[in-house]
């Protein structure tokens, strides 16, 4: 039983249970099913890849415009087909297309080319669409086969039409989109930056379906989507105006139709909100608790070393299969809440929101630093204030503020997420002026899996 008293959390463990716990820890016999780390996401080939955040500056279509690039590759000799879905920052599917990869094939996309110029993906076509092997090249050890469903679809030879491209740009900047009957799909921040996230699934046929559409998933990978755990990839956040670029791996999500955690109806799976929590997608979920680091201005990290700030990229699951909505009327779940947060400095001093008298907070926090499905949040900014220059954050992003029917039955409060820290650094050129700057990124340590979510903040 957990009790809150004067800002402290007490956990009472019966004597017999405590003795059993000590014995299990001593013998290493804690079962994987009981561990919150069972099912934790690893960087390995998977059936689904997640790019948790992208941004493209639509105001600048020159090479100096901020953009995000995506690279995927096939780790097997078997040729595969994949489906790419682009979502708004509030989690609404906005655009999709298909990508064919020969065995060991690689494919890349600069989102600026797609979202600013309308250039569809190149160098992707299976055998019948590429009989001379000049589009999707085949290596000596690579399979190259035909997907008949891609006839007339691949290769993409024409750009996105003007009206459709404008509608897509509006959809990803929170404006009324002609592609969706004048409705909105995201936040209208007003800065001309297209934001959202991307999923990439292995599939068995070319289609125009989104993951939430009927037939896309079926148990055991028998729908449009398959359970082929062969995809890997990475991304680059590119900021030419600052001469910065950050590379990070895509999030790998294993599909397993035999694991009860990813095949039992009612369990939390990655696409659960799209298949009514039936687990037919078979994809492992991400984590719900994280420990991101931050290093801000004023941090003494070394001689002539300047810390200019930390920004968090945070992707979250609204647990609602959100569709387009009336502009000016955000979805009922927005903004997303969270169970708890505790900010530490490097001497272990804690700092919490002043409205909290116990942890997790008994009421919704007054600050909403991560209100959308995906976003960037400045550590030390208005929505995530801290007086510390450096430290780490114990972050519990579980939430159940959506309708009960939109929560996984096994653990209605569980809510998967992903957290990345971006560090803006420099070397002093005298005083506080950096002579050179760079940006670094790292995945926040994972403290659990949504398969067995923690609900705890120290």
Parse the chain into domains and list their residue ranges: 48-274, 289-452
d(CA 194, CA 434): 30
**For residue 78, how many other CB atoms are within 10 A of its CB?**
15
Give the pLDDT confidence of 246-294 residue by residue, as tens digits. 999 999 999 999 999 999 999 999 999 999 999 999 999 999 999 999 9
Q: pTM, whole model, 2 decimals?
A: 0.89
Q: What is the pLDDT of residue 424?
A: 86
Identify the DSSP state of 66: -
Residue 19 has pLDDT above 50, yes or no: no
d(CA 326, CA 144): 45
Percent of the chain with pLDDT over 90: 70
Residue 23 has pLDDT above 50, yes or no: no
Rounded mean pLDDT of 59-71?
A: 90
* Of the candidate ranges 11-15, 30-34, 191-195, 396-400, the one whose mean pLDDT is the lowest: 11-15
Give the pLDDT confidence of 197-247 residue by residue, as tens digits. 999 999 999 999 999 999 999 999 999 999 999 999 999 999 888 788 999
Q: Are 210 and 85 in contact (CB under 8 A)?
A: yes
Sorting pLDDT into bands at 50, 70 and 90, what band is 11?
very low
Give the pLDDT confidence of 299-315 residue by residue, as tens digits. 655 545 556 789 999 99
Task: Tell me if the bond preceding 335 is cis, omega within 30° of 0.
Answer: yes
Residue, of 12 and 254, whose pLDDT is higher: 254
By the 10 Å C-beta count (0-12 exposed, 13-18 middle, 19+ buried), 34 is classed as exposed
> Which residues have CB under 8 Å from 210's CB, separation 6+?
85, 93, 96, 216
**Phi, psi for 129 (deg, rounded to 5):** -90, -5
Give the pLDDT confidence of 399-423 residue by residue, as tens digits. 987 777 789 999 999 999 999 999 9
Give the pLDDT confidence of 366-402 residue by residue, as tens digits. 789 999 999 999 999 988 998 898 999 999 999 987 7
Q: Are 286 and 398 in contact (CB under 8 A)?
A: no
Residue 181 has pLDDT above 50, yes or no: yes
**Rounded (to 5) percent helix, strand, coil in the chain:** 10, 35, 55
Q: What is the pLDDT of residue 17?
A: 37
> Which residues have CB under 8 Å from 383's CB, separation 6+?
367, 368, 369, 377
d(CA 3, CA 357): 11
Residue 10 has pLDDT above 70, yes or no: no
């Amino acid at each position: 039983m957990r009790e809150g008293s004067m800002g402290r959390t007490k956990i009472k463990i019966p004597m017999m249970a405590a003795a059993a716990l000590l014995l299990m820890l001593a013998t290493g016999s804690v079962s994987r099913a009981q561990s919150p780390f069972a099912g934790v996401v690893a960087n390995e080939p998977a059936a689904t890849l997640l790019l948790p955040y992208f941004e493209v500056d639509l105001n600048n279509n020159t090479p100096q415009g901020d953009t995000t690039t995506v690279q995927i590759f096939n780790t097997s000799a078997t040729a595969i087909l994949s489906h790419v879905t682009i979502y708004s920052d509030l989690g609404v599917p906005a655009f999709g297309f298909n990508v064919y990869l020969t065995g060991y094939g690689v494919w890349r996309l600069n989102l600026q080319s797609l979202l600013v110029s309308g250039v569809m993906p190149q160098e992707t076509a299976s055998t019948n669409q590429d009989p001379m092997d000049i589009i999707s090249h085949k290596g000596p050890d690579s399979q190259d086969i035909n997907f008949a469903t891609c006839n007339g679809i691949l290769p993409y030879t024409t750009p996105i039409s003007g009206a459709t491209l404008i509608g897509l740009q509006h959809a990803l900047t929170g404006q009324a989109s002609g592609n969706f009957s004048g409705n909105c799909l995201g936040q209208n921040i007003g800065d001309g930056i297209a934001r959202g996230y991307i999923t990439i699934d292995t599939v068995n046929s070319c289609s125009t379906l989104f993951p939430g559409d009927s037939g896309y998933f079926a148990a055991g990978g028998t729908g449009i989507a398959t359970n082929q755990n062969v995809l890997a990839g990475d991304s680059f956040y590119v900021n030419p105006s600052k001469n910065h670029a950050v590379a990070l791996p895509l999030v790998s999500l294993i599909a397993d139709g035999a694991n009860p955690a990813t095949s039992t109806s009612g369990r939390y799976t990655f696409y659960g909100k799209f298949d009514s929590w039936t687990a037919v997608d078979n994809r492992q979920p991400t984590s719900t608790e994280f420990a991101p680091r931050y290093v801000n201005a004023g941090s003494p990290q070394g001689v002539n070393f300047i810390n200019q700030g930390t920004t968090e990229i945070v992707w979250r699951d609204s647990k609602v299969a959100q569709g387009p909505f009336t502009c000016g009327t955000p979805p009922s779940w927005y903004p997303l809440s969270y169970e708890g947060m505790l900010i530490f400095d490097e001497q272990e001093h804690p700092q919490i929101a002043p409205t909290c008298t116990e942890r997790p907070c008994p009421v919704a926090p007054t600050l909403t630093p991560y209100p959308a499905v995906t976003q960037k949040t400045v550590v030390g900014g208005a929505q995530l204030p801290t007086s510390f220059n450096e430290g780490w954050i114990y972050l519990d992003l579980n939430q159940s503020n959506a309708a009960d029917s939109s929560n996984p039955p096994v653990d209605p409060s569980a809510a998967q997420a992903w957290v990345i820290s971006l560090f803006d650094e420099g070397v002093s050129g005298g005083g506080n002026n950096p002579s050179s700057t760079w940006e670094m990124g790292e995945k926040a340590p994972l403290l659990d899996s949504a398969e067995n979510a923690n609900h705890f903040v120290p």
